[in-house]
Amino acid sequence: MIALIMAGGSGTRFWPKSRKNYPKQFLNVQGSTSMLQKTVQRLLSKIALHDVYIVTAANQVDLVKQHLPRLPEENIIIEPFGMNTAPCIALSLEYLKTRYADGEIMLVLPADHVVSDVHGFLASLNPAETEARKGRLITFGIEPDYPATGFGYIEAGKDIALQVKEVLRFKEKPDQATAEEFLQQGSFYWNSGMFCWSIQAISEAFKAHLPEVAKLSHKIADKWESEGFETDISELYKQMPRIPIDIGIMEKAEFRGIIPVNYGWSDVGSWKALADITPKGVGGNHFANGGFALSATGNYIDTKKWTAVIGLDNICIIETDDAILVCSKDKSEDVKKVVDYLTDRGDEKLL
């Protein structure tokens, strides 16, 4: 098995710590190692480092090298610029075809997720590999523990193999009432964005469901073959549709499966999500550098100074050298709108 880790995102909902030149996957959100480093580390008892590949945007290559100094340089696949997951995976697929046979199994992971139960995570790769060898496209569904509205969902059907269920349908992020209904039904799982398949199976899926992407990918492969991997592919790559692999492939494919899992997973997609998995003190408050709470509960305070909070509940305060964010946990998804505002203003210093 080989692993492809997607590390080209911008992490806009993690502003002000996540910036254009230092996005979320390179932050130490828990402990002393970055999210990217943790993602690689949890694989190494199953997959050798020389079979781990990182796909990232050109402006993040140096960061990948800094965080993973032992990773062979040729294991970094470079996007000219960040795109969505379907183009990202298609580009990587063409690169991997130059090094592996069609039957090789690919595990595809985001670089910025937290997995608490590493043993459980590794165990779930075994049924995934077994089914992928049959040509099935496998995704991992997180057993929901609350009616989340920030995730897409996958509805599972009957068992089709040991620990594997059929995929009935994908559902986009629901409203609160729908999320509560999904949780009550018990057959819906959070879409983790993690996949497993053979090189051949996903190649055929691109040809069948995203032929435009497949054709452009082949042109890029031809350009690599004639001019080398250092050649400029940006003109071809920018013609790719910005579409996620879930919508472009997984929603349309027929020979697919879902493995329900529960291993302390979080996509850490917002400050609330990080607050939820961070140890808390008295009153459910967290202070990164010490503080005091009076008539205040459930707050996440990541400031550079000792901080006092009075009469406030369920808020996040995040401080960097040049910015401070104050938001309610329930509105933490809207942090990306701050980035949109700064982008419209052309305020590169804060981006």
* Structure confidence at residue 11 (pLDDT): 78
- The pLDDT of residue 258 is 98
User: Cα dihedral sign for 320, 340, 22, 47?
Assistant: positive
Residues 259 and 284 in one domain: no
**Residue 233 maps to which CATH number?**
3.90.550.10
Helix or strand holding residue 91 (H, E):
helix 85-97
- The mean pLDDT value of the chain amounts to 94
pLDDT value at residue 12: 85
Please write the tens of the pLDDT for every residue from 294-329.
Answer: 999 999 999 999 999 999 999 999 999 999 999 999
Going by the DSSP 8-state scheme, the letter that residue 47 receives in this structure is S
Residue 230 sits in the same domain as residue 105: yes
- Structural domain including 109 reads 2-266
Cα distances (angstroms) measured from residue 17 to each of 29, 36, 265, 319, 330: 10, 16, 22, 8, 19
- pLDDT over 80 (residue 164): yes
Q: Is 280 exposed, middle or buried (0-12, 13-18, 19+ CB in 10 A)?
A: middle
Q: Which residue has the tokens 């997609």?
A: 269
User: What single letter denotes the amino acid at residue 238?
Assistant: K
pLDDT for the residue 306: 97
Return the percentage of the chain with pLDDT > 90, whole number: 85
Number of domains in the chain: 2
10 pLDDT higher than 80: no
pLDDT score of 149: 83
Same domain, 11 and 52: yes
Claim to verify: residue 99 and residue 34 sit in the same structural domain: yes
Same domain, 291 and 253: no
Q: Give CA–CA dist 197/63, Å, rounded.
A: 28
In sign, the C-alpha dihedral spanning 76, 80, 85, 87 is negative
CA–CA distance, 92 with 4 (Å, rounded to integer): 8
Residues 245 and 301 in one domain: no
Q: Are residues 282 and 258 in the same domain?
A: no
**Structure confidence at residue 145 (pLDDT):** 86
